Chains A and B, each alone.
Chain A
């Protein structure tokens, strides 16, 4: 089955710096890669996603890149703000509907 690894498990940055979270997956059939943000006590929220026919996608301060050959994808957050502090999850999914999540990265943005 699919295996998704996410690194780092914790990340601390100063406000205004950039943050990068990386994930690798094992199943070459995976073709949809969402990222979720979860704040304390709240449900995870989809923040950006990318499909296998696209190499990069950007939405304001958030960008995601995908390298299908290497089977890895990354989340980039620029100009971080304290409200970006949360747990971020990556996931890999196939058309069969099975979705495997990474273990999560706890991002702390220090003012």
Chain B
């Protein structure tokens, strides 16, 4: 079965550059979540979208923005990158109305390294 696809898997950027992370949810999933996980830390929730509208927001810096498109894929845009932004970024998707049956699925993550 198709899983949550994230691209790229690895990304190296310099400070003050911009990065765009993409997430393609499982077909028919209508909710997308973004997480940031620093080394040795638990995932931190950033933001989520349900039916292309922002549904919840966590500790997302103002330098970051995200959106969900008409085809349900989502992009996380990160500007003015800082060394502290180096982390593993997870995307997860779910089918909100039937989550009790399907739960939600994480992607493999994008490892961002800011140098």
Contacts and interface: CB of A to CB of B under 8 A. Distances in A.
B8 interface: no
Interface of A: 9-10, 32, 34, 38, 40-44, 46, 49, 87, 91, 93-99, 101, 103-104, 106, 108
Contacts of B24: none
26 contacts: A9-B103, A10-B100, A38-B104, A41-B50, A43-B56, A43-B58, A87-B99, A87-B103, A91-B42, A91-B43, A93-B40, A93-B42, A94-B40, A95-B39, A96-B40, A97-B39, A97-B40, A97-B41, A97-B88, A98-B88, A99-B37, A99-B43, A99-B88, A106-B100, A106-B101, A106-B103
Interface residues of B, number: 24
Nearest to A10: B100
Contacts of A9: 103
Contact of A41 (B31, B88, B100, B103): B31
Given A34-B42, A94-B40, 15 more contacts: A38-B104, A41-B50, A41-B96, A43-B33, A43-B58, A87-B103, A91-B43, A93-B40, A93-B42, A95-B39, A97-B38, A97-B40, A99-B37, A106-B99, A106-B103
